[in-house]
A and B are shown apart, each in its own frame.
Chain A
Amino acid sequence: MLAESLALSAALFAIGVIGVLTRRNAIILFMCVELMLNAVNLSLVALSKVYGASGEVFVLFVITVAAAEAAVGLAIVISIFRHRQSVHLDDINLLKG
């Protein structure tokens, strides 16, 4: 099942990348990043079935970092929404120069 898992993982990652490139809503962008992290987790779990438990420990760390990222990122989104009344990335170009 290793090859199938890795192929599914690659496909999910590619879908996540397509989502990041096609969407403008900051919240949905975060969700696409979560999808990419999930795809990486799947390949780590599939490899850890063959090569030992380290992969599953890395998955635990990835989940921890994803939770922290979601909390801080969504707080930033709320903060931006208070200032701009929008979460569309095209409206948020303060640092563009």
Chain B
Amino acid sequence: MNNEFFPLFFSFHFYLFAVIALLSAILFVTRKSPVAAALWLVNVMFCLAALYVMLDAQLIGAIQVLVYAGAIMVVFLFVVMLLNLGKPEDVSDIRGQLPRVTAGFVGAALLAEVMVLARAKWNAQLTLPVASGETMRNEPGGIIAPIAEVLLKDQLLAFELASILLLVAIVGAVTLGRKRS
């Protein structure tokens, strides 16, 4: 997505997806039924995938749809289905008035903190270097090559460790989920 040629088109859709993501997130935390909550979370993830594509991270957008919205949320829905928690009216898990107000206060304080930090004046050593500009798109390998460069050269050890982590997670999940006989 290029915002040089269609600035209005770009910003309209950016704000559209941002607003949908925010509203879906609010609906997600307020739904009683776990299934409805999971589906609103899927909606948030699709909107975030759209935003990733608009931010020139097409690979991450595709992985977001495939892994997050596709695989992880399906696992969540499978577990909700497997546990059979009953009707949403009976199983409402939202806490009472006081914890809700407290949680809203904590959330607002966190948000205000982040906003203040974003506008604060930092010591020169703490500020990020001046942006190098949008160089990624102009390189011969397009947008994938710089990611591969970092992933398979600089972060190779972390990449290999991630595979071990996934193996451990699979073995752990099978061991924990097994029925003891």
Q: In the complex, what distance in Å separates the CA atom of A10 from the CA atom of B94?
A: 23
Closest to A19 in B: B29
For residue A11, CB closer than 8 A to chain B, the reply is yes
Instruction: Assess the B104–A74 pair: CB atoms within 8 A.
Output: no
What is the chain B residue whose CB lies nearest that of A70?
B72
Number of interface residues of A (CB under 8 A): 66
Q: Residues of B contacting A77 with CB < 8 Å? A: 79, 83
- Given A19-B28, A63-B68, A31-B76 contact (CB < 8 Å): yes
Report yes or no: A31 in contact with B37, Cβ–Cβ below 8 A: yes
Asked whether A6 and B118 contact (CB < 8 A) given A11-B22, A28-B37, the answer is: yes
Contact, CB under 8 Å: B107 / A64: no
Residues of B within 8 A of A79 (CB): 176-177
Q: Give the CA-CA distance A64 to B160 in the complex, in Å.
A: 12
Q: Which of A23, A25, A53, A64 contacts B166 (CB 8 A)?
A: A64
For residue A72, CB closer than 8 A to chain B, the reply is yes
Write the residues of chain B forming the contact surface with A, with a CB cutoff of 8 angstroms: 3, 11, 14-15, 18, 21-22, 25-26, 28-29, 34, 37-38, 41, 44-45, 48, 51-52, 54-57, 59-60, 63-64, 67-68, 71-72, 75-76, 79-80, 82-83, 85, 91, 93-95, 99-100, 102-104, 106-108, 110-111, 114-115, 118, 128-129, 131-132, 134-136, 146-147, 149-151, 154-155, 158, 162, 165-166, 168-170, 172-177, 179
**Can you offer 12 A-B residue contacts whose CB atoms are under 8 A?**
A1-B14, A3-B118, A22-B99, A24-B93, A31-B76, A35-B41, A41-B60, A42-B51, A49-B56, A75-B173, A77-B83, A78-B79
